[in-house]
Amino acid sequence: MLILNLKHIVGDELHHTGWNACISCKGDQSLKHKYLILPSLESGNIYVVDVLTDPKNPKLHKEISGELIKEQIGGSYPHTTHCLPSGDVMISLMGGKNKEGKGGFLILDGKTFEIKGRWEKDEKTVDFGYDFWYQPNFNVMVSTEYGEPKAFMEGFNPVQVEKQYGRSLTFWNWNEKTIKNQVDLGQDGLIPLECRFVHDPKKNYGFVGTALSSTLILFYPDSDNKKYLTLNVGKIKDVKVKNWAMEYMPGLITDILISLDDRFLYIALWLHGSIQQYNIEDPKNPKLVGEIFLGGSLRKDGDVIPIDENGNERPDLLKEIPTVKGHKLQGAPQMIQLSRDGQRLYVSSSLLRPWDKQFYPEMAQKGGQIVQLDVNTNEGGLSLNKDFYVNFEDQPFGPAVAHEMRYPGGDCSSDIWV
């Protein structure tokens, strides 16, 4: 059911979302998940939508102009949103005034949503931006890197990876708003996207998923707590293929998520087409305990042919595309969201409009979907719920695709415990 259309700018795209308030705002009990913050990529506009007063009829509360953001702080392509313990809202930035790569962070007043300025002390500190997560108990924030908007907004070109995409993690001094240390992840860390500290505020470690390298990386402090270190704890093996853009197809980790009890970590593989579930009770040795195929490029009805190193075809690596309520799933699993009880994992299919058109043109044309996975929270395991299907094909303005999902009462990536 479509309940609000924000189609103000033709061709614009909503990507990640966040709340005006979260569990970290301890000092003000009146704060609630009332306003959903919706940054849009191309225009740079940020929409603030009241979803609490009348949940089935949300209203646009405020629009912050992308041009105003450029004018005041020189930033564009707003992405990840987190509320802060102060009550303000922080949004990561991926670009400068001319689609060049320029990481940084925008602060909005949590009540008026007026621009307050940049968060970081030094305006030019990181080349690229994307996601971030903070933990004040350890005076730290971690941020990741996608690439230059002028590169990724035109689709993926492997020639551009070396100079126009990121490969570093940045660890910040939370109180001083300065860089603590940066880690160059090298070839094992190409295009690090989603990062997560574990939810327990007394534990000082977390994970990041790298897209192109398809590695799961643990980050943690050194013994002196002077800098953060990284350890590769998981690698999705590339598949050698024919009839595709590159000789080897990466899994392409586009999202990761940690259950509220910090027992399980989930990853979405947008090219290989599966969701994987890992037990991370031993964070240095994650164990694969569940996996389900939901689409992707290694499909029996597709043109891609997996082969071994000798050129022999590997049809065993091709999977059937699931159907739900008579609908064949489009695209591949991209964004994931988990209920707080850990039992329901929701999965959307769109990465970014130019990438959707490049890798899954049928989904871009027909529209995407959201499906639900039922989770075994005891020993692990995932199954597709055949009674839940959200169809984005038949919308008043034409087929649409879905990206990030939010629970009104909170979920496993909207709130940061401090």
Q: What is the pLDDT of residues 298-316, one digit of tens each?
A: 999 999 999 999 999 999 9
Q: For the chain, what is the mean pLDDT?
A: 94
CA distance 143 to 266: 19
How sure is the predictor about 418, in pLDDT bands with cuts at 50, 70 and 90? Answer: confident
Phi-psi region of 395 (alpha: psi -120 to 50; beta: other; left: phi over 0): beta
Give pLDDT, residue 7.
63
Instruction: Give the whole-angstrom CA distance, residue 17 versus residue 36.
Output: 7
Identify the pLDDT of residue 324.
97
Query: What is residue 1's predicted lDDT score, i.e. its pLDDT?
Result: 59
- Mean pLDDT across the stretch 168-185? 97
Q: What's the whole-model pTM score?
A: 0.96
Output the six-digit token pair for 270: 């947008």
Q: Mean of the pLDDT values across residues 165-182?
A: 97
The pLDDT assigned to 407 comes to 86
Query: Looking at the predicted structure, is the pLDDT value of residue 152 above 90?
Result: yes
- Of the candidates 245, 395, 254, 413, which has an alpha carbon nearest to the alpha carbon of residue 339? 413
Residue 89 has pLDDT above 70, yes or no: yes
Burial pattern 158-175, b for ≥16 Cβ within 10 A else e, equals eebbeebbbbbbbbbebe
* Cβ–Cβ under 8 Å, residues 336 and 346: yes
Instruction: Provide DSSP, 110-155.
Output: TTT--EEEESSSSSS--S----EEEEGGGTEEEE---B-HHHHTT-
Q: Which residues contact 70 (CB under 8 A, 6 or more apart)?
A: 44, 76, 97
Residues 6+ apart with CB under 8 A from 361: none
Count of Cβ atoms closer than 10 Å to residue 285 Cβ: 12
What pLDDT score was predicted for residue 29? 62
**Residue 70 predicted with pLDDT over 90:** yes
What's the pLDDT tens digit per position in 339-391?
999 999 999 999 999 999 999 999 999 999 999 999 999 999 999 999 999 99
- Please report the pLDDT score of residue 5 as a whole number: 74
**Angle (CA) 121 189 203, round 5°:** 65
